[in-house]
Amino acid sequence: MPTLTVRLQKEEHRIPFSADRSLRDILDATDVRVRSGCRGVGTCGLCRVLIEAGNAGAPTVNEQLMLGFDELEQGIRLACQVMPKQDLAIELLAPAPKSHWRNLPDRAGQHERRGSFLPIEGLPGNVTNPYGVAVDLGTTHISLSLYELTGGRWLAGRYGLNPQMRFGSDVMTRLVAASDSPDHAREMSRQLIDSIREGLFDFAVKEGIDIGNVARLALVGNTAMLALLSGRNYGLLLQPKQWMTFLDCLPENPDAWGASLGIHPQARIEVIPPLAGFVGSDLLAGVVTTRLTEEEGGGLFIDFGTNSEIALWDGRDLWVTSAAGGPAFEESGISCGAPAEPGAIYRVGIRDGSFVFDVIADSEPRGLCGSGLVDLIACLVRSGLLSRMGHFALSVPGEGFALARGERDIILTKRDVDMFQRAKAAIGTGIQVLLAKAGIGCEDLRRICVGGFFGRFLDIANAHEIGLLPVLPPDNIELCGNTALAGCAELLLSGAAVERLRNLGERARLINLSSCPDFDELFLKNLYLLPMRESE
């Protein structure tokens, strides 16, 4: 794989890349980004780089228009127009401001538009090119997609860490912190608004978008995040009797956020309401975008995350529950975890008796993302180094299994395995309880939709091996990416999607796992790293 060498002041960065992307796109996946103002079409002239070594190809027509003859002679080019195929060395002449926001990783399927447009009447009269923004407020990540409202065209997407992480990696810890201190509650609400504003500002700086023209914003999230955002009734979520009832956690006047977010002060802001205490509007958006209830039955949807949500469609009812997956499905949950970005090990295998792995962007490994963790545990079980009960073999050192040694040792500990087993057991128990309530078995499933960042690179065979998913033919399992954001975008733009959302509430049947009499027995069985075949 070719390597891009980037010089910025006194620093030098080496970035492996595939030969089908522009310099701008390659840099956007790293901390070394270039300034831009035209979404990469070559009309702003801001993303200037100096070619120091290697073949950058002939200048495009846009480069000839935007750059002078002398600049082209010096080797100055536009990053969005250069498509490198071999090793290349450049100097950044116009670096973008540092930002913790990243381009959305699953762009292709994420932003497909289906269904009829919503009418655009009622928008502020002084906006000639109105934009709409979809927001997924997750426990670990906040994601945004930007669209043109007049045609539904996707323009850009970003995701970044939820700043509330310092109050706890899981929702219960944050809810306790908010309930114990009104100051903490106000700070957590402010953090979310500030973070969304920063993501919008990143659109402005990097894409040349006037966010003052954002005339609509739709937001989905799990119930706890919505309650902490609005500052309303979050304490009720600490009471188990509230978990399966509707919780009034919406802001009283979300449109007033327009000025704080930097969008049009008269923008219409809609927070999609949750279904119940721990069944949020992120799950509803996922069901909408996967068209789960438009099949004849046997459809299962799993949104993996810190608060994992599961929906089963039996052809008549939508059985819904939530499972405390915890942070094991996110990079913050294990000691050797890393986000699914350059440097993350996303695939692990065994070749000629040795463990081998693939790293996103072929860069120096920094840790395991979710799919890499699933692969590693499945390979350890297959090789006999990890038992089906989750115990390491005697040949594995006490510190754990070392997958890689280097600048950062990547070691899977017994605690990491335990955390994964508990998260897997919670998901498996939720699936089996819903199947039992619907009166069907794993063998009756026809389709499984996997949502969330976790599933981007998931190896289905390995997921089957350790019981993370029911065993179905791979063609019947869909890795759907961020379904919450995709569904939110449909609700922002599509009248048909809004109608489907209205119908879901009538068909939903909420199940509280903690009240199921056989929960403990099922949970213990699902701790084993065995294939999940039958509901019991």
Q: Across-strand partners of 412?
A: 401
Residues comprising the chain, all counted: 536
Positions of CATH 3.30.420.480 in the chain:
102-281
Residue (of 143, 123, 122) closest to 134 by Cα position: 143
Q: Encode burial over 136-157: b for 16+ CB neighbours within 10 A, e otherwise.
A: bbbbbbbbbbbbebeebebbbb
- What does R_g of the chain's alpha carbons equal in angstroms? 24
> What fold does the segment set 3-92 form as a domain?
Ubiquitin-like (UB roll) (3.10.20)
C-beta separation of 287 from 293 below 8 A: yes
What pairing do the DSSP bridges indicate for beta strands 11-16 and 3-8? antiparallel
Q: Across-strand partners of 136?
A: 143, 220
Question: What are the tens digits of pLDDT across the range 388-420?
Answer: 999 999 999 999 999 999 878 999 999 999 999
Question: What are the tens digits of pLDDT across the range 499-530?
Answer: 899 889 889 999 988 888 899 999 999 999 99
Distance of CA 232 to the CA centre of its chain: 26
What CA–CA distances, in Å, run from 393 to 352, 396, 401, 416?
20, 6, 10, 15
Positions of CATH 3.10.20.30 in the chain:
3-92
The pLDDT of residue 31 is 74
Please count the other Cβ atoms lying within 10 Å of the Cβ belonging to residue 85.
Answer: 14
Query: Alpha-carbon distance 311 to 365, whole Å?
Result: 35
Question: What are the tens digits of pLDDT across the range 220-273?
Answer: 999 999 999 999 999 999 988 888 788 899 998 999 999 899 999 999 999 999
Question: What are the tens digits of pLDDT across the range 128-156?
Answer: 889 999 999 998 889 999 999 988 889 99
C-beta separation of 269 from 258 below 8 A: yes
The residues near 135 (Cβ < 8 Å, ≥ 6 apart) are 142, 143, 144, 196, 217, 218, 219, 220, 485, 488
> What fold does the segment set 102-281 form as a domain?
Nucleotidyltransferase; domain 5 (3.30.420)
